């Protein structure tokens, strides 16, 4: 069966009325939670995970599809109406988006973001549907050394790309790997780093980790620095664009999609670089260069489309290789594992209904998102006015339910507090949270693949790089390590002005 018929079957699954309802609920909740200040897409998924505990896997993932896109769109609404964005992928959107809003063009900014997200999300999902089977064909031939190399690439990319300090990124990754080691070693059956506590033998539940580091850590951090004067929110009507806006937006949407999708699909560290690339491209190609820096619509349309296309692209390595490239994807992977499903090349054969149902739901969720968000923009804007004590009390309240409901044990609440404290300290001292999450979730699999590779090679270190694919990946890793500092050095010498924007973008890694 080819991808097209599979996809049609997926639509048949997703179009079932109950499943449609879950997709709709997912989009609605995802947007509503994602729009709240300080809550990024990864945290949205982590907080909403408990709602899916009692669902069948297929329905749960259909709901996730909605939450995924909804949470992302919610984040961009926040950054346009409030400026200072809570997640790194929306940083670039905020640059022009908030300026537009300040000039009274909030409705157009939100509309171009919503329609751009729809266009990019739809093309990106189509790309996912076409690319996934091809990647699976390649992935099925991949051996342990190849997997291990790709995971090393994911570790390196996420550590070097995010945040301004590489040492701190590496420290965060190491902390994550350490937490990932806690529990019984699957190969030898011995307990590692459990301190003799029986609850730790199974490892730490991924929901508890994600909710603790993201939700509790964030709530504690913000509580300790709560702004006493409320942030300024720009009022907005229903999101819409005029003919001129359309004319100026459609090309940036398509260019953004083209830039974003490949960056998401390779395991190389999230949406920061492509959104920035898109911003620079639009700035160069625009016929209205004078508007850039004062609220140019191209500067919202391009990066926002890029962001969504890269999110769709990120599902390719997640579903076909089981490798997450962003925090959001890592939480999704954790959710898969919670259902006893291991994403990887065999997933498409063993669970075709689930995978293609998920892909079809991404299309449907995207359409629901558009239909919902254009008219509902004023309502989302109202959510930004929620009194901050209630907002952060609510986050801690739902974080506690989520962590407790995972295993119905108070031990997880203690863990939640410890991890929340860790998340607080990481925010205080500039350790990015994303490498830690990737380390926790990917670390155990990486260890398994490394052991398998060395077992096959009988202990020879060359067993880690004796295939052409792994060799190629290590070359890429070398490039990732060497090229960005080199480019930064050249850019520093040539154009100090553009660098300001890049540095701004680097400041807000979450």
Could you say which residues in the range 408-437 bind other proteins, by CB under 8 A?
Answer: 408, 410, 413-414, 417, 425, 427-431
Q: Contacting other proteins (CB under 8 A), which of 56, 185, 199, 353?
A: 185
Q: Contacting other proteins (CB under 8 A), which of 63, 82, 120, 268?
A: 82
Which residue reads 């090229």 in tokens? 483
The per-residue b/e assignment along 272-295, b for 16 or more CB within 10 angstroms, e otherwise, is: bbbbbbbbbbbbeebeeeebbeeb
Task: Return the number of the residue (390 or 489) whose C-beta is nearest other proteins.
Answer: 390
Report yes or no: 297 and 245 within 8 Å, Cβ to Cβ. yes
Whole-number Å distance between alpha carbons of 298 and 283: 8
How far is the CA of 89 from the CAs of 8, 199, 270, 279, in angstroms?
32, 36, 8, 12
Residues from 268 through 297 that contact other proteins (CB under 8 A)? none
Residues from 388 through 407 that contact other proteins (CB under 8 A)? 388-390, 392-394, 396-398, 400-401, 404-405
Asked whether position 447 contacts other proteins by CB under 8 A, the answer is yes
Task: Return the number of the residue (5 or 164) whose C-beta is nearest other proteins.
Answer: 164
Report yes or no: 122 and 132 within 8 Å, Cβ to Cβ. no
Whole-number Å distance between alpha carbons of 287 and 296: 10
Asked whether position 85 contacts other proteins by CB under 8 A, the answer is yes
Q: Contacting other proteins (CB under 8 A), which of 1, 17, 227, 340?
A: 227
Q: Contacting other proteins (CB under 8 A), which of 17, 198, 340, 459?
A: 459
What does the block give as tokens for 388? 């901050």
What does the block give as tokens for 438? 């990737």
Report yes or no: 266 and 213 within 8 Å, Cβ to Cβ. no
Task: Return the number of the residue (150 or 416) whose C-beta is nearest other proteins.
Answer: 416
Residues from 230 through 259 that contact other proteins (CB under 8 A)? 231
Whole-number Å distance between alpha carbons of 293 and 276: 14
Asked whether position 28 contacts other proteins by CB under 8 A, the answer is no
Q: How far is the CB of 149 from other proteins (least distance, A)?
A: 16
Q: Contacting other proteins (CB under 8 A), which of 78, 278, 373, 470?
A: 78
Report yes or no: 96 and 283 within 8 Å, Cβ to Cβ. no
Q: Contacting other proteins (CB under 8 A), which of 4, 8, 138, 187?
A: 187
Q: How many CB atoms lie within 10 A of CB 130?
A: 12
Asked whether position 471 contacts other proteins by CB under 8 A, the answer is no
Report yes or no: 297 and 253 within 8 Å, Cβ to Cβ. no
Asked whether position 177 contacts other proteins by CB under 8 A, the answer is yes
Helix runs in 384-432, H state only: 388-407, 410-428
Question: Can you name the residues that pair with 183 across neighbouring β-strands?
Answer: 192
Q: How many CB atoms lie within 10 A of CB 460?
A: 11
Task: Return the number of the residue (140 or 167) whose C-beta is nearest other proteins.
Answer: 167
Q: How far is the CB of 86 from other proteins (least distance, A)?
A: 6
Tell me the backbone φ, ψ of residue 191, rounded to 5 degrees: -80, 135
Total residues contacting other proteins by CB under 8 A comes to 81
Helix (H, G, I), strand (E, B) or coil at 184: strand
Residues from 48 through 67 that contact other proteins (CB under 8 A)? 50-51, 53-54
Residue 318: name the closest of 282, 288, 357, 344 by CA.
Answer: 344
Q: Contacting other proteins (CB under 8 A), which of 12, 15, 20, 178?
A: 178
Asked whether position 225 contacts other proteins by CB under 8 A, the answer is yes
Residues 6+ apart with CB under 8 A from 92: 275, 276, 278, 279, 299, 303, 501, 505
Q: How far is the CB of 441 from other proteins (least distance, A)?
A: 15
Asked whether position 183 contacts other proteins by CB under 8 A, the answer is no
Asked whether position 20 contacts other proteins by CB under 8 A, the answer is no
Q: Contacting other proteins (CB under 8 A), which of 64, 73, 147, 221?
A: 221
Asked whether position 197 contacts other proteins by CB under 8 A, the answer is no
Asked whether position 385 contacts other proteins by CB under 8 A, the answer is no
Q: Contacting other proteins (CB under 8 A), which of 26, 70, 86, 116?
A: 86
The per-residue b/e assignment along 239-251, b for 16 or more CB within 10 angstroms, e otherwise, is: bebeeebeebbbe
Asked whether position 499 contacts other proteins by CB under 8 A, the answer is no
Asked whether position 102 contacts other proteins by CB under 8 A, the answer is no
Q: Terminus-to-terminus CA distance in the chain, angstroms? A: 41
Asked whether position 327 contacts other proteins by CB under 8 A, the answer is no
Residues from 138 through 167 that contact other proteins (CB under 8 A)? 163-165, 167
Q: How far is the CB of 231 from other proteins (least distance, A)?
A: 6
């Amino acid at each position: 069966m080819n991808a097209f018929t599979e996809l049609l079957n997926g639509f048949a699954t997703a179009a079932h009325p109950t499943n449609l309802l879950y997709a709709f609920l997912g989009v609605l909740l995802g947007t509503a939670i994602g729009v709240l200040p300080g809550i990024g897409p990864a945290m949205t998924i982590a907080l909403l995970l408990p709602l899916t505990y009692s669902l069948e896997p297929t329905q749960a993932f259909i709901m996730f599809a909605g939450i995924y896109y909804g949470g992302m769109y919610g984040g961009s609404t926040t950054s346009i109406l409030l400026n200072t964005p809570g997640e790194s992928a929306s940083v670039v959107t905020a640059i022009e988006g908030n300026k537009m809003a300040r000039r009274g063009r909030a409705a157009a900014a939100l509309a171009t973001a919503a329609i751009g997200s729809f266009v990019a999300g739809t093309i990106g999902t189509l790309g996912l549907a076409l690319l996934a089977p091809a990647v699976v064909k390649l992935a099925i031939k991949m051996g342990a050394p190849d997997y291990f190399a790709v995971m090393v690439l994911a570790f390196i990319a996420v550590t070097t790309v995010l945040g301004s300090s590489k040492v701190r990124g590496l420290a965060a990754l190491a902390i994550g790997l350490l937490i990932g080691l806690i529990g019984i070693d699957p190969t030898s059956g011995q307990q590692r780093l459990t301190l003799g506590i029986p609850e730790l033998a199974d490892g730490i539940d991924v929901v508890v980790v994600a909710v603790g580091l993201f939700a509790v850590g964030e709530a504690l951090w913000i509580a300790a620095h709560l702004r006493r004067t409320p942030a300024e929110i720009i009022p907005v009507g229903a999101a819409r664009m005029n003919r001129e806006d359309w004319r100026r937006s459609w090309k940036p949407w398509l260019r953004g999609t083209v830039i974003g999708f490949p960056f998401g699909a390779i395991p190389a560290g999230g949406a920061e670089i492509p959104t920035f690339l898109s911003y620079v491209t639009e700035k160069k190609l625009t016929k209205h260069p004078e508007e850039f820096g004062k609220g140019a619509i191209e500067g919202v349309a391009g990066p926002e489309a890029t962001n969504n296309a890269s999110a769709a692209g990120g599902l390719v390595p997640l579903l076909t290789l089981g490798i997450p490239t962003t925090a959001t994807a890592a939480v999704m992977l954790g959710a898969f594992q919670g259902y006893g499903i291991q994403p990887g090349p065999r997933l498409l054969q063993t669970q075709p209904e689930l995978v293609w149902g998920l892909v079809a739901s991404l299309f449907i969720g995207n359409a629901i998102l558009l239909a919902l968000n254009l008219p509902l923009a004023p309502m989302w804007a109202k959510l930004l006015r929620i009194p901050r004590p209630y907002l952060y009390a609510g986050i801690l309240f739902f974080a506690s339910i989520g962590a407790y409901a995972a295993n119905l044990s108070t031990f997880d609440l203690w863990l939640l507090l410890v991890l929340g404290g860790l998340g607080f300290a990481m925010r205080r001292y500039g350790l990015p949270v994303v490498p830690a999450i990737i380390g926790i979730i990917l670390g155990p699999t990486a260890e398994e693949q490394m052991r398998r590779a060395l077992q096959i090679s009988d202990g020879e270190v060359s067993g880690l790089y004796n295939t052409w694919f792994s060799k190629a990946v290590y070359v890429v890793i070398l490039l990732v390590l060497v090229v960005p500092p080199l480019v930064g050095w050249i850019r520093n010498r040539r154009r100090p002005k553009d660098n300001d924007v890049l540095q701004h973008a680097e400041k807000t890694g979450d």
